[in-house]
Amino acid sequence: MNPSFENERNKKKFDLMCQWMKLKIQGIYLIEFFQDRGFQSIAIFGMGEIGQLMYDELVMEKKLTIQYAIDQSGIQYLESLPVYCLDKDLPKVDAIVITPVLITDQLEEQIYESLGECVTFVFEEILYELSRKHGVASSLWRIL
Q: Is 139 inside any structural domain?
A: no
- What pTM, to 2 d.p., does this model score? 0.91
* Tally of domains in the chain: 1
CATH classification at residue 92:
3.40.50.720
Question: Is 132 or 113 the better-scoring residue by pLDDT?
Answer: 132
Digit-coded pLDDT (tens) for 27-44: 999 999 999 999 999 999
DSSP annotation of 84: E
The answer to whether 12 and 101 are in contact (CB under 8 A) is yes
Q: Is 143 inside any structural domain?
A: no
DSSP H or E segment with residue 61: helix 49-61
The boundaries of the domain holding residue 122 are 3-134
The answer to whether 132 and 36 are in contact (CB under 8 A) is no
**Total residue count of the chain as it appears in this document:** 144
For residue 80, is pLDDT > 90?
no
Q: Is 142 inside any structural domain?
A: no
For residue 144, is pLDDT > 60?
no
Question: Is 75 or 99 the better-scoring residue by pLDDT?
Answer: 99
How many other C-beta atoms lie within 10 A of the C-beta of residue 107?
20
For residue 77, is pLDDT > 80?
no
